[in-house]
Amino acid sequence: MTKWSNADTLSSWKKLMSLKGMVSVADELSGSGAADRIAKYSVPMGGGLTYNYAAKQVNEQILRTLAELADEQQLVQKYQELLDGAVINTGEKRMVLHQLTRGQLGKDVVADGVNKRDFYVNEVRRIAEFADKVHSGALLNEKGEKYTTVCQIGIGGSDLGPRAMYLALENWAKKNGTFKMNAHFISNVDPDDAAGVVKSLDISKTIFILVSKSGTTLETLTNENFVKDFIKKAGCDASRHMIAVTSETSPLAHNPDYMAAFYMDDYIGGRYSSTSGVGGAVLSLAFGPKVFQDFLDGAAQEDKLALNTDLLENPAMLDALIGVYERNVQGYPATAILPYSQALSRFPAHLQQLDMESNGKSVNRDGGALNYVTGPVIFGEPGTNGQHSFYQLLHQGTDVVPLQFIAFKENQSGEDVVIEGSTSQVKLCANVTAQIIAFACGKTDENPNKAFAGGRPSSLIYGQQLNPKSLGALLAHYENKVMFQGFVWNINSFDQEGVQLGKVLAKNVLSGKMEGALKAFAGLLIK
């Protein structure tokens, strides 16, 4: 049996706290042993990726202590319990089953009288069959025409993850002949969002995917009715242009207003739902079912690696524990996600929700107050755009911000040009290399304004090319990293009460059930 304990009660935690500031990254990477360190501090991931942490502020002693912490806090055992169907989400008294959408790594999990692995496999099959009918023309619109576009309506995890995954694979699919349909997304309840998207579409050839687990999400249902009004004005039948991704108990299920409904359940949080029907419907329609299956396979590879009890062979757990060291020992308040791939333009936004909604907690799994900090602030932008934006603070600001670079040797489109002796892709990769060393080693200068202290730690996840399998592995890596950090901190990474509060108060404003400051602020904005 596993034991759930606050981190600061562990002997390994107390040992770790004594190891602050032991390693100078500049010394490690500017000396003769740099090449050996870069080669040694590297671990294979799923999907053909590699996690390199040579520019992190760790050494053998710190890594041994982190391994002791992983063992004492029973991180892999807790992951195995999660896979076996334990009630890990204590806030909502639920199992946590998003890994089960892409593979069976634990015992058979039966919930609500259903084998959940069979349930998810069946939903992938149903989505694939529907997508094939759309692509082949077996399913047509009222005019007998093929659908050419898909548009997802959802918010939070129903938007951020699927949108990021779609953008990540769009150019790859076009190059590899698997691109089937353009995809668009509506999320914000701001009517300008929905209007701007819908007015750009040929509604008669568009399938709208309404994503709401409960079928009652206010922003999503508001946008649904907004879109239905446009559909009606276009002279189309909404029931021939809308499908739902929801739970089987929601009002959207088995509803004649939708062409089809695909199901998920309460055991998968929105921010963890990209490998369920929430991402599966839009990705299968946009790129074909095989691409979505390859995406799942890449995630499954990374999930399996996360069961390795050897810290140095478990990339997600290693990344997580180094992050704990940076947050709790070094005291760094934030982490920057820096993908040097335009295809990952929305990936940092997805990770922002994944990490901050999961680990932005100040009480433990049982509601007790914590005496240590938990999740960092997450932000980021694609390189090299970020270099011309916020890197000034990262290089010379008063706070040290750990960095996580993501890069690929090849681009997706195959298009490139040689300028001054090198291609654009080579220039992109050169920028990654230069930034890692610049952050680590800094630069001395007689002019203080031009001096760089260095000592800014970073990691690098890299591979040959961003494709469905490598994307799936990348996604699962971060999902598992967040999970392991939550286990270390003894918090529940799978509920989000901070999100629920705003929803409740907004409903109070709309219903008129408000007083005091809430009423006064509402008066400033609502007539």
Residues with a catalytic annotation lie at 357, 388, 503
- Can you tell me the distance from the alpha carbon of 30 to that of 478, in angstroms, rounded to the nearest whole number? 30
Cβ count near 182 (within 10 Å): 14
Residue pair 117/108 in contact by the 8 Å Cβ criterion? yes
DSSP-assigned beta bridge partners for residue 405: 338, 460
36 φ, ψ to 5°? -65, -40
Q: Exposed, middle or buried: residue 352 (CB in 10 Å: 0-12, 13-18, 19+)?
A: middle
Please tell me whether residue 26 adopts helix, strand or coil conformation.
Answer: helix
Interacting residues of 130 by C-beta distance below 8 A, sequence separation 6+: 139, 243, 260, 262, 281, 284
For residue 161, the one-letter residue type is G
Residues 6+ apart with CB under 8 A from 48: 463, 464, 469, 470, 473
Q: How far apart are CA 333 and CA 20, in angstroms?
A: 15
Parallel, antiparallel, or unpaired for β 50-52 and 206-211? unpaired
| Token pair for 445 | 């200068």
Spatial contact of 222 and 253, defined as CB atoms under 8 Å apart: no
* Contact call for residues 312 and 322 (beta carbons, < 8 A): no
Question: Which residue in the block uniquely carries the two structure tokens 């050839």?
Answer: 205
Count of CB atoms situated within 10 Å of the CB of 153: 28
Q: What is the CA radius of gyration of the chain?
A: 24
User: Tokens at residue 143, please?
Assistant: 């005019």
For 164, the enclosing helix (H) or strand (E) is helix 160-176
Name the one residue in this structure whose structure tokens are 């069961």.
307
Q: Where are the beta strands (DSSP E) in 248-402?
A: 261-264, 334-340, 377-380
The three-state secondary structure class of 212 is coil
Residue 384: cis peptide before it, omega within 30 degrees of 0: yes
Q: Which helix (H) or strand (E) covers residue 135, if one does?
A: helix 116-136
Residue whose tokens read 């005291």: 331
Question: How many whole angstroms separate alpha carbon 277 and alpha carbon 286?
Answer: 13
Strands 377-380 and 334-340: parallel
Give the residue carrying structure tokens 């890990």.
Answer: 88
Distance CA 282, CA 271 (A): 16
Tokens 């709790």 belong to 328
**Residue position matching structure tokens 């001096």:** 451
